């Protein structure tokens, strides 16, 4: 079996860390809204990958997290005047409802950020002790200059990134691209106690911590959408390998965008279609078939016309299977004993 590895930019023969076993981590949703079809493309694809490995006889440990504490969740909670963690949990349950409708099997483990604060704090401590992170007031930042391999996943040059940095410059940081591991508490926001004062974790350290806890170093596959390659997955690698001195994940798989009129479907652009709304018009198996009908690394354009086309294609496939089953059931089909 060969896998295209984003890390090496090449197809590689898949060799599991442990014979007969596959360890997979996939970035799950940030739970501030219902999932849209762009989210679903990734989840359906990696569900299919997991099923294929099991079909091939592998024992699979599949981890997909929930980011249940994030800036977007806090903003949405303020708008709706709800507790951020209660809001996040509502959308966690909504995810399971939509995923079940699309026949996406539950992960073996669905860790939540809010339930892993002690482990996150411990990992940040290690990074500080190893001089890969520094404290500014009550914020903690990762020092990217201390990690020589920064940029190896995305193929980006550090000097070029620094010159063209578009992030809002924080003069307290050593480098504009240094990213937050721990954010000091702000009025009205959820917080947890830490050695650096009350606050909450940064986005990138969350996935690193949970992946290491449940899969260990050098696990087999880390997956997600193309939009996560940089900075999220790049930063995950930096944190994990700086802390452990070991390879983080060995194969990186990324699926392409779902687009609308050739533009990426996203909540920020407002051009998204919720899974639960689409399922009012199309069957779950049609939607799943549509999402798997394009090569996983290629962009896929969404329209109702394309979904209708997928529905017709699925019906043709079903009809062909019925004809084949009927043919195989006929007496004498494939009887090699007949003399010529």
Residue of 210, 193, 100 lying closest to 138 (CA atoms): 193
pTM assigned to the model = 0.93
Q: Which domains does the chain have, with CATH numbers?
A: 18-112+257-329 (3.40.50.620)
Chain mean pLDDT for the chain? 94
139-142 vs 179-184, strand pairing mode: antiparallel
Q: Are 116 and 213 in contact (CB under 8 A)?
A: yes
Query: Which residues in the chain show pLDDT less than 70?
Result: 159-168, 333-340
What pLDDT, on the 0 to 100 scale, is given for residue 219? 99
Q: What's residue 320's pLDDT? A: 95
By C-alpha distance, which of 36, 39, 32 is closest to 72?
Answer: 32
Kindly give, in sequence order, each residue whose CB lies less than 8 Å from that of residue 240, ignoring residues fewer than 6 positions away: 208, 211, 212, 217, 248
pLDDT of residue 164: 44
Q: Residue 340's pLDDT is what? A: 42
First to last CA, the chain: 39
Instruction: In whole angstroms, give the CA distance from residue 226 to residue 288.
Output: 19
């Amino acid at each position: 079996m060969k896998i295209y590895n984003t890390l090496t930019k090449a197809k590689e023969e898949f060799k599991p860390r442990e014979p007969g076993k596959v360890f997979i981590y996939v970035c799950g949703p940030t739970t501030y809204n219902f999932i849209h079809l762009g989210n679903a493309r990734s989840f359906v694809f990696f569900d299919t990958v997991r099923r294929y490995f099991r079909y091939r006889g592998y024992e699979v440990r599949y981890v997909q997290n929930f980011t249940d504490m994030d800036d977007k969740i806090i903003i949405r909670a303020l708008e709706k005047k709800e507790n951020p963690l209660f809001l996040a949990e509502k959308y966690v349950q909504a995810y399971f409802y939509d995923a079940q409708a699309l026949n996406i099997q539950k992960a073996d483990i669905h860790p939540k950020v809010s339930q892993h604060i002690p482990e996150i704090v411990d990992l940040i401590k290690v990074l500080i002790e190893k001089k890969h992170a520094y404290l500014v007031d009550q914020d903690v930042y990762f020092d990217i200059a201390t990690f020589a391999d920064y940029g190896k996943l995305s193929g980006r040059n550090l000097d070029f990134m620094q010159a063209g940095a578009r992030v809002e410059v924080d003069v307290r940081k050593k480098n504009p691209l240094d990213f937050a591991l721990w954010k000091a508490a702000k009025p009205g926001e959820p917080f947890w106690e830490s050695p650096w004062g009350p606050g909450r974790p940064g986005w990138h350290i969350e996935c690193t911590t949970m992946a290491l806890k449940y899969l260990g170093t050098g696990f087999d596959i880390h997956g997600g959408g193309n939009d996560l390659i940089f900075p999220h997955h790049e930063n995950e690698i930096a944190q994990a390998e700086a802390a452990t001195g070991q390879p983080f994940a060995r194969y990186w798989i990324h699926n392409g965008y779902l687009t609308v009129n050739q533009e990426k479907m996203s909540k920020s652009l407002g051009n998204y279609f919720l899974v639960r709304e689409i399922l009012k018009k199309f069957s779950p198996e049609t939607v799943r078939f549509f999402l798997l009908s394009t090569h996983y690394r290629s962009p896929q354009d969404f329209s109702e016309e394309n979904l209708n086309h997928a529905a017709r294609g699925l019906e043709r496939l079903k009809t062909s299977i019925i004809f084949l089953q009927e043919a195989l059931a006929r007496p004498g089909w494939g009887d090699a004993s007949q003399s010529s």
